[in-house]
Amino acid sequence: MTELLYQTDAYLREFHARVTAVEQGAVALDRTALYATGGGQPHDTGTLGDGARVWRVAEVRKQGDAVWHTLAGEGLPDIGAELRGSVDWERRYKLMRTHTALHLLCGVIWRDYKAPVTGGNMDTDEGRLDFELPNFSNELAQEIVARVNDEIAAARPVEVRILPRAEAFQIPDLIRTKINLLPEGIQQVRTVNIVGLDLQADGGTHVANTREVGRVTLLKTRSKGANNKRIVVAIE
């Protein structure tokens, strides 16, 4: 099992870890601060080194309870090797800001329209969410994004907690997606709370305060069906 350091400290840039398994081109570690692709958020990049060599981390993926790090370059560290890891902070921080912007978007639409999320994805500078939102227009999308920027300016704290499943599911509207994506076997649920606006289950990385997001702009809208609408935003 890999300890997911980023779940409790998204600002951790360097860490030490031990290699627990090796496969072609990749290593699993006992702990990592590098985010593995999931929940619509892309993986981190960074480096792993043993003091003599440094490998660039090209991909991070979760497989079962282990996190695998695909390494660029010749050779691999041995099982049991002690490594120092480093996160590509510029990329990570953009992802944190974008992911928090999407939670603000989700929070505003849920608060004002009670519309569930039907899909989403993101990259470093932009992201999109799909909503079950009738009577949609570009003017409405502009109004929603203006409200998101108001919430950014409100400098709301962003709090992360890991709760027992039974306790987490006592929280009203914990799941904002139309389909519950939490597997039955998950006994600990990570929650992200934009205090006063949005509280939901989530596994991604976020900034500590909404003011860090910066300004959000509307890139485009799209109709995905009679009631299924898409909003694409970017951070400045």
pLDDT of res. 73: 83
Do 52 and 107 share a structural domain?
no
pLDDT of res. 181: 53
How far is residue 58's CA from residue 71's CA, in Å, rounded to a whole number? 6
Distances (CA, A) of 62 to 80, 88, 122, 196, 209: 20, 19, 18, 32, 28
Do 219 and 125 share a structural domain?
yes
pLDDT of res. 168: 77
pLDDT of res. 154: 98
- 188-213 per-residue burial string, b: 16 or more CB within 10 A, e: under 16: ebbbbbbeebbbbbbbbbbbebbebb
Domain boundary among 27, 60, 87: 87
Summarize pLDDT for 71-102 with one digit per residue, the tens. 998 899 999 999 999 999 999 999 999 999 99
Calculate the CA dihedral of residues 5, 162, 99, 9 and round it to 10 degrees. Answer: -30
Task: List the beta strands (DSSP E) in the chain.
Answer: 3-4, 14-23, 26-29, 31-32, 46-49, 54-63, 66-72, 82-87, 117-122, 126-132, 158-164, 188-194, 198-201, 216-223, 228-235
Do 164 and 147 share a structural domain?
yes
Distances (CA, A) of 24 to 43, 69, 73, 161: 19, 11, 12, 35
Domain boundary among 36, 63, 87: 87
Do 45 and 96 share a structural domain?
no
How far is residue 89's CA from residue 47's CA, in Å, rounded to a whole number? 11
pLDDT of res. 224: 85
Structural domain that includes position 18: 3-87
Summarize pLDDT for 98-116 with one digit per residue, the tens. 999 999 999 999 999 999 8
Do 195 and 101 share a structural domain?
yes
Do 83 and 97 share a structural domain?
no
Task: Indicate the burial class of 104 (C-beta count within 10 angstroms; 0-12, 13-18, 19 or more).
Answer: buried
pLDDT of res. 128: 97
Do 108 and 78 share a structural domain?
no
How far is residue 150's CA from residue 172's CA, in Å, rounded to a whole number? 24
What does the pLDDT profile of the chain (236 residues) look like in tens digits? 999 999 999 999 999 999 999 998 999 999 999 999 998 999 999 999 999 999 999 999 999 999 999 999 889 999 999 999 999 999 999 999 999 999 999 999 999 999 988 999 999 999 999 999 888 999 999 999 999 999 999 999 999 999 887 787 777 766 656 455 555 667 788 999 999 999 988 999 999 999 999 999 999 999 988 889 999 999 99
Do 46 and 63 share a structural domain?
yes
Q: How many domains does the chain have?
A: 2
Do 151 and 96 share a structural domain?
yes
Do 98 and 77 share a structural domain?
no
Task: Please report, for the domain that includes residue 43, its CATH number.
Answer: 2.40.30.130
